Amino acid sequence: MKKSWQIWRDRRGRLSPLRLAVLALLLLPLAKASFDAGAIAHGARPLNDLIHRAGFWALVFLGVTLAVTPLRRILRIGNLIDVRRMLGVGAFCYIAAHLTLFFADQGYSFEKTFHEITHRWYLIIGGTAWLGLAALAATSTDGMVKRLGGLRWRRLHQLIYAIALLALIHYFQQTKADVTVPTFVAGLFLWLFSYRLVAWWKENSELSTLTLLALSVAVSVLTFIGEAIGIGISFHVSPLRVLDAAFDFDAGIRPGWEVLGAGLVVVIIDFVRARWPIRTQRVRPVPAE
């Protein structure tokens, strides 16, 4: 049996290259922050810079956790499921750092931190998402799965979708000017939500290449529409003018195209893997997050 802290070993105690790769991925933002240490320290607000980095990576790893189920189907790599918990707990570690840094930014004052979190809308929403993630992290052990029972555990962990939505709202609310990156991230999350919705509706989590193509096009169109409405409302311009600008590539590539590009990459991988499967392990149905 592996010792519980040796997260690079699989359940049988063998060294797992997949787990090692995920561990390296989870540590990458820390390595990047250490590399940028000089620039961060000499920046205008070092703590705020770190708060942004931790929040951004927490959201990214939350997305990667949600992507495990579709990816194991599309890549036909069944044992990807082995690292889902590791990724989820990794996301929580970044979110714990995000709040700790915020606490430091408030001069380590519990009173000030509490006051801020309960008086600003974007922090109320972020705080709610934080509590949700903490509940999921606390119930992610084998012991808790047993205590809660499979069905109750699965129902509780389906909260991950609502938590991700709150985290995205928090991300948009704190973004002051350019919403290009948040819109792209939201588009990717929309793809993941839609995948699960279609899989649930079809009662089959293995979607055909054609369904994946239709899903990617639909999500890309929704990203364009969402962005146009958002910019239209914020800057009092016609959403149709914003949509028109999506085809002006001199002004930059809009997030809707990037979401379409990411979706098409998935479609191509699925197409190739469906024809040349290398099944490392039988892909068994897994409980939803």
Count of residues near ligand HEM by CB under 6 A? 23
CA pair distance 262, 188, nearest whole angstrom: 8
Residues 166-205 interacting with ligand HEM (rule: CB under 6 A) = 167, 170-171, 174
Q: Which of these ranges, 26-34, 46-54, 142-150, 209-217, lies near ligand HEM under the rule CB under 6 A?
A: 46-54
Tell me which of 29, 127, 255, 256 binds ligand HEM, using CB under 6 A. Answer: 127
Give residues with Cβ within 8 angstroms of 136, minimum separation 6. Answer: 88, 92, 156, 157, 159, 160, 163
Tell me which of 65, 75, 84, 130 binds ligand HEM, using CB under 6 A. Answer: 130
Residues 48-87 interacting with ligand HEM (rule: CB under 6 A) = 48, 51-52, 55-56, 58-59, 62
Q: Half-sphere exposure (CA, 13 Å, Cβ side) for 154? A: 6
Instruction: Give the nearest distance from C-beta 158 to ligand HEM in angstroms.
Output: 17
CA pair distance 132, 174, nearest whole angstrom: 20
DSSP letter, residue 99: H
Reading the block at residue 155, the tokens are: 């129902």
Distance of CA 192 to the CA centre of its chain: 9
Give the per-residue contact string, 85-104, with ligand HEM (x = CB under 6 A; - = no). ----------x--xx--x--
Instruction: Give the nearest distance from C-beta 133 to ligand HEM in angstroms.
Output: 6
Instruction: Give the nearest distance from C-beta 217 to ligand HEM in angstroms.
Output: 27
Q: In terms of CB distance, is 71 or 101 closer to ligand HEM?
A: 101
Specify burial of residue 24 (Cβ count, 10 A radius: 0-12, 13-18, 19+): exposed
Instruction: Give the nearest distance from C-beta 118 to ligand HEM in angstroms.
Output: 10
- CA dihedral 123→63→165→153, nearest 10 degrees, is -100
Instruction: List interacting residues with ligand HEM (CB under 6 A).
Output: 48, 51-52, 55-56, 58-59, 62, 95, 98-99, 102, 117, 123, 126-127, 129-130, 133, 167, 170-171, 174
